[in-house]
């Protein structure tokens, strides 16, 4: 599928492309295309466009000189464009807010390095960084033990030791026991995770630290198999499928935690602090169990088939109770 690029977006890319190449003297076509997230064909089109650019320095109407023969790019006569672009206000603000959020995440190993990086970016961005200072960033830890678990995991990774987890699985509403060979500790979407080879599942799994109930470092060597490949988390953890069921829930103020705990397609505020959330799932069983747990704090609105399943499950559950009225014989 061809992605349309506006002239403004292409100009920004060209202005970044020249200093990128000049700072490296000589750089490969494939490497540059990957760095800018474009194809080699698109990169060649950009380079051909640069042939038509003339600068006023060092001499009036001086054309940029470039070559990309042999798969290597060389740019000259573009010294006046050699300085990287300054961050725009929105770019500087987004980057600084994201870094401040990362600095608050439990388990960060070197906060001082993060603080120095933020200070350098603020100094480099100048006035463009002032907007981000108006945003207060706070990351709420859902488990006071998460940071302690992160320390244990780092120790296990350093010593190459297996860990034993007691882990809560919300989809099945149960606590599980499993041995895991740690692979890395990472932060995804603002939450700390352990990635490792789960011996119980016989596959690579990600474990949210705020769902770890207990963790023990074992005196057993960690040995992930050769086929244990890291999970690609660049696009987030939740990967919707066309076959997923679209579920709509209405939540009371006491049930708003569902929107924070589960990935949602949309979240809409209603009256009296209530929420309407839409989420996708390949398995509606856990949604049915969630509705039972929520009780009056939440209800399934759609799809109708799931509404009927929840009603039947609730009716069956109520049938297990015997109501003893005062005066009723035992």
Query: Tell me: the pLDDT tens digits for 284-309?
Result: 887 888 888 888 888 899 999 999 98
Assess whether pLDDT exceeds 60 at residue 83.
no
Least confident of 56-60, 275-279, 296-300, 314-318: 56-60
Assess whether pLDDT exceeds 60 at residue 7.
yes
**What are the structure tokens assigned to 68, written together?**
């990309």
pLDDT of residue 159: 92
Checking DSSP bridges between strand 174-188 and strand 275-281, what pairing results, if any?
unpaired
What is the per-residue burial (b if ≥16 Cβ within 10 Å, else e) of 54-76? ebeeeeeebebebebeeeebbbe
Assess whether pLDDT exceeds 80 at residue 79.
no
- Answer left, alpha or beta for residue 56, where phi above 0 means left and psi between -120 and 50 means alpha: alpha
Residue 184 CA to residue 239 CA, distance in Å, equals 21
Least confident of 133-147, 225-239, 250-264, 268-282: 133-147
Element (H, E) at 14: helix 7-24
pLDDT of residue 1: 44
Average pLDDT over residues 76-87: 57
Residues 6+ apart with CB under 8 A from 176: 165, 166, 167, 168, 169, 200
* Strand partners of residue 181: 197
- Maximum Cα interatomic distance, the chain, rounded to a whole number of Å: 106
Residue predicted with more confidence, 86 or 39: 39
Q: Distances in Å between the alpha carbon of 32 and those of 11, 303, 311?
A: 16, 47, 57
> Is-contact 161 222, C-beta < 8 A?
yes
Share of the chain above pLDDT 90, in %: 12
Least confident of 184-198, 237-251, 266-280: 237-251
């Amino acid at each position: 599928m061809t992605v349309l690029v506006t002239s403004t977006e292409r100009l920004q890319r060209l202005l970044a492309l020249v200093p990128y190449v000049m700072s490296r003297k000589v750089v490969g076509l494939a490497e540059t295309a990957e760095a800018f997230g474009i194809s080699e064909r698109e990169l060649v089109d950009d380079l051909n466009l640069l042939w038509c650019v003339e600068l006023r320095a060092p001499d009036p109407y001086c054309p940029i000189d470039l070559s990309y023969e042999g798969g290597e790019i060389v740019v000259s006569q573009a010294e006046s464009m050699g300085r990287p672009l300054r961050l725009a206000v929105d770019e500087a603000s987004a980057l600084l807010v994201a870094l401040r959020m990362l600095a608050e995440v439990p388990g960060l190993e070197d906060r001082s390095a993060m603080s120095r990086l933020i200070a350098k970016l603020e100094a480099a961005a100048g006035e463009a960084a002032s907007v981000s200072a108006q945003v207060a960033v706070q990351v709420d830890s859902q488990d006071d033990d998460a940071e302690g678990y992160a320390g244990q995991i780092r120790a296990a990774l350093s010593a190459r030791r297996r860990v034993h987890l007691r882990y809560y699985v919300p989809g099945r509403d149960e606590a599980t026991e499993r041995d895991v060979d740690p692979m890395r500790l990472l932060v995804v979407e603002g939450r700390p995770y352990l990635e490792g080879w789960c011996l119980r599942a016989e596959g690579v799994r990600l474990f949210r630290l705020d769902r770890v109930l207990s963790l023990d470092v074992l005196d057993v060597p960690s040995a992930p198999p050769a086929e244990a490949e890291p999970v690609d988390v660049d696009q987030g953890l939740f990967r919707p499928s066309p076959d997923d069921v679209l579920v709509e829930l209405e939540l009371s103020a006491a049930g708003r935690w569902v929107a924070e705990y589960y990935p949602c397609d949309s979240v809409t505020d209603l009256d009296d602090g209530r929420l309407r959330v839409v989420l996708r799932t390949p398995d509606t069983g856990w949604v049915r169990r969630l509705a039972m747990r929520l009780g009056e704090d939440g209800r399934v609105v759609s799809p109708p088939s799931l509404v009927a399943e929840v009603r039947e499950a609730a009716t069956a559950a109520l049938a297990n109770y015997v109501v003893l009225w005062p005066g009723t014989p035992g």
